[in-house]
Amino acid sequence: AQTVTQSQPEMSVQEAETVTLSCTYDTSESDYYLFWYKQPPSRQMILVIRQEAYKQQNATENRFSVNFQKAAKSFSLKISDSQLGDAAMYFCAYRSVMDSNYQLIWGAGTKLIIKP
């Protein structure tokens, strides 16, 4: 069975600086998808970024980028130029290509605090 581990329960960063959130996963599959979701205190879960395992290029969405290391089973999220609105719980999630029920396997989450 696949597992997702986020080892940092809480991180803090000064506004305008860069922070990296870590995520590791365990799987025997070669094809899968990885996601980072953000959930602000207002509670709506929002997709931040998505990575397909067969793509070597790291995904990027504006200030958000990932460092995808397939062999190491690592999928970290880098947030550049941190803003107050980035404060949220961040969840890493895994989805098997083979799962016809489209289930997500979730990490425990990292609470990101932005210091003004």
Partner 1 sequence: DTEVTQTPKHLVMGMTNKKSLKCEQHMGHRAMYWYKQKAKKPPELMFVYSYEKLSINESVPSRFSPECPNSSLLNLHLHALQPEDSALYLCASSPTSKKRNEQFFGPGTRLTVL
Residues of this chain that bind partner 1 (CB under 8 A):
33, 35, 37, 42-47, 50, 89, 91, 93, 95, 97, 100-104, 106-109, 111
Min dist. Cβ of residue 47 to partner 1 (A): 5
Choose between 25 and 91: whose C-beta lies nearer to partner 1: 91
Taking the least distance from each CB to partner 1, the nearer of 71 and 100 is 100
Cα 49-115-61 angle, rounded to 5 deg: 15
Question: Whose CA is closest to 82, among 6, 1, 11?
Answer: 11
d(CA 60, CA 51): 9
- Pick between residue 31 and residue 81 the one whose CB is nearest to partner 1: 31
Minimum separation from the CB atom of position 81 to partner 1 (A): 24
Cα–Cα distance, 15 to 28 (Å, whole number): 39
